[in-house]
Amino acid sequence: MRRSRGSRSKTRYKLKKSVRETRTNPITKKIQKFNENDLVHIIIDPSVQKGQPHPRFHGKTGRVVDGRGRAYIVEINDGKKAKKLIIRPEHLKIQE
């Protein structure tokens, strides 16, 4: 039987929370609001599966282009191509 190659494969350490991170309040992350042209970091929260981007984009920085429902459209440069990702606010962090 061939092994599974799902979207979360090879992410054993990337999608793992530290001990102190588990105590954070997830509601405050869920109700974050972002404006257009805000720079945001893509930090995947593994406890929330909905609205996760592909793990390849974990740690990247992008620009909020638009909102779509509860999620935001974030544009990043992946090599030479500009890509648009639909990400929920739990997985985004504003750049200071």
Evaluate if residue 41 carries a pLDDT over 90.
Answer: yes
The structure tokens listed for 68 are 């779509």
Q: CA torsion sign, 49 to 52 to 28 to 73?
A: negative
CATH topology of domain 26-94: SH3 type barrels. (2.30.30)
Name the strands in the sheet holding 81-87, side by side, starting at the edge strand that comes first in the sequence: 81-87, 71-78, 61-68, 39-42, 92-94
User: CA 17, CA 32: separation in Å to the nearest integer?
Assistant: 20
Q: What is the pLDDT of residues 75-84, one digit of tens each?
A: 999 999 999 9
Residues 3-15 have a mean pLDDT of 91
| Predicted pLDDT at 20 | 80
3-state secondary structure of 45: coil
Spell out the domain ranges in the chain.
26-94
Evaluate if residue 87 carries a pLDDT over 80.
Answer: yes
CA 49 vs CA 7, 33, 37, 77, 87: distances in Å: 12, 20, 26, 24, 11
Predicted structure pTM score: 0.88
